[in-house]
């Protein structure tokens, strides 16, 4: 896929290789974030044949790592996939447990001299939501764990959109970033990072598609 930020040539975003765009221009930085977050159409998206794509079909906006809520991003879709992927044996076990819970509630209801009943309709997804299948709080407090969970979940969901994060360098050590590069190299996932940086950091991002736009709006490309 491609991200086009006029007047520059498109930035390439592909599976298995991180794309980083850094800039020392506050204006460029702001416009990139506004466009990638979907607030305004300051950037355009296209597939590998340069056919234009709608924002909704092109981007998953994560934003700043510290503000990411993994459950907000993925929980509903993950529950749906989880329910679909259960084996017949697992479904039967859950059905049995659900029946036992309903019977226990009805038995307990006999303490009142009232005619009470419970809903007999069984909805697997609703049951999973009730028990709140979610990402662990341990992961939510670990910047690398958050990013790793995002890319791994995207793979589980067969997600082809561009995952976009900002200022990842503020949260990861160089070793952690290199580990992220190695992880993404094994996955069919597209990851686009926006960084504010006064300097060109081609050495740090030598295993990525790297683009830098300086204060004079001059672009440096390392592909």
Chain segment 90-141, per-residue pLDDT in tens? 999 999 999 999 999 999 999 998 989 988 888 999 999 999 999 999 999 9
Q: State the Rg of the chain over Cα.
A: 23
Q: Is the pLDDT of residue 201 over 90?
A: yes
Q: How many helices (H) and strands (E) does the chain have?
A: 8, 10
Q: How many residues does the chain have?
A: 223
Contact 60, 162 (CB under 8 A): yes
User: Can you give the residue ranges of every domain in the chain?
Assistant: 2-73+151-222, 75-130
Fold observed for domain 2-73+151-222? Rossmann fold (3.40.50)
In this predicted structure, the answer to whether residue 42 has a pLDDT above a threshold of 90 is yes
Q: What is the pTM of this model?
A: 0.91
- CB of 38 closer than 8 Å to CB of 59: yes
- CA 103 – CA 40 distance, rounded (Å): 54
């Amino acid at each position: 896929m491609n991200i086009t930020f006029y007047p520059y040539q498109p930035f390439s975003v592909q599976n298995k290789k991180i794309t980083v765009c850094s800039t020392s221009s506050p204006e460029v930085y702001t416009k990139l974030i506004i466009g990638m977050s979907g607030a305004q159409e300051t950037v355009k998206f296209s597939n590998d044949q340069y056919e234009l794509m709608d924002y909704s079909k092109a981007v998953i906006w994560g934003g700043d790592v510290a503000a990411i809520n993994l459950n907000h991003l993925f929980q509903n879709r993950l529950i749906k996939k989880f329910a679909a992927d259960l084996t017949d044996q697992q479904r039967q076990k859950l059905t049995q447990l659900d029946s036992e819970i309903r019977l226990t509630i009805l038995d307990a209801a006999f303490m009142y001299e009232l005619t009470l009943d419970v809903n007999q309709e069984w909805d697997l997804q609703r049951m999973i939501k009730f028990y709140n299948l979610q990402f662990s709080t341990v992961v939510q407090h670990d910047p690398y764990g958050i990013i790793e969970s995002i890319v791994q979940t995207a793979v589980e969901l067969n997600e082809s959109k561009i995952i976009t994060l900002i200022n990842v360098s503020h949260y990861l050590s160089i070793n952690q970033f290199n580990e992220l590069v190695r992880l993404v190299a094994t996955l069919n996932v597209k990851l686009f990072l926006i960084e504010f940086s006064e300097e060109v950091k081609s050495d740090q991002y030598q295993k990525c598609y790297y683009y830098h736009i300086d204060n004079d709006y001059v672009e440096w490309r390392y592909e």
